Amino acid sequence: MAAKKSSTPNRAFKVADQIQRDLTELIARELKDPRVGMVTLQGVEVTPDYAHAKVFFSLLTGDPVETQAALNQAAGFLRNGLFKRLHIHTVPTLHFVFDRTSERAADMNALIAKAVSSRAKDD
Supply the CATH number for residue 81's domain.
Answer: 3.30.300.20
Lowest mean pLDDT among 57-66, 70-79, 89-98, 113-122: 113-122
Tell whether 1 is covered by a domain: no
Is residue 66 in a domain? yes
pLDDT at 4 over 50: no
3 lies in some domain: no
**5 belongs to a structural domain:** no
Which pLDDT score, from 0 to 100, does residue 9 have? 64
For 32-53, write each residue's pLDDT tens digit: 999 998 899 999 999 999 999 9
Confidence of residue 16 (pLDDT cuts 50, 70, 90): very high
pLDDT at residue 32, rounded to an integer:
92
Better-predicted residue by pLDDT, 78 or 6: 78
Residue 110 domain-assigned (yes or no): yes
**Averaged pLDDT of the chain:** 87
Count CA within 13 A, CB hemisphere, residue 120: 6
Residue 2 belongs to a domain = no
Domain annotation covers residue 4: no
Structure confidence by residue, pLDDT tens digits, 84-111 = 998 888 899 999 999 987 777 777 888 8
Q: Is residue 83 one of the residues assigned to a domain?
A: yes
Quick one: pLDDT at residue 113?
86
Does residue 65 surpass a pLDDT of 60?
yes
Is residue 17 over pLDDT 60? yes
Number of domains in the chain: 1
Closest CA to 72 of 108, 118, 23: 23
Find the domain containing 80 and state its range.
10-120
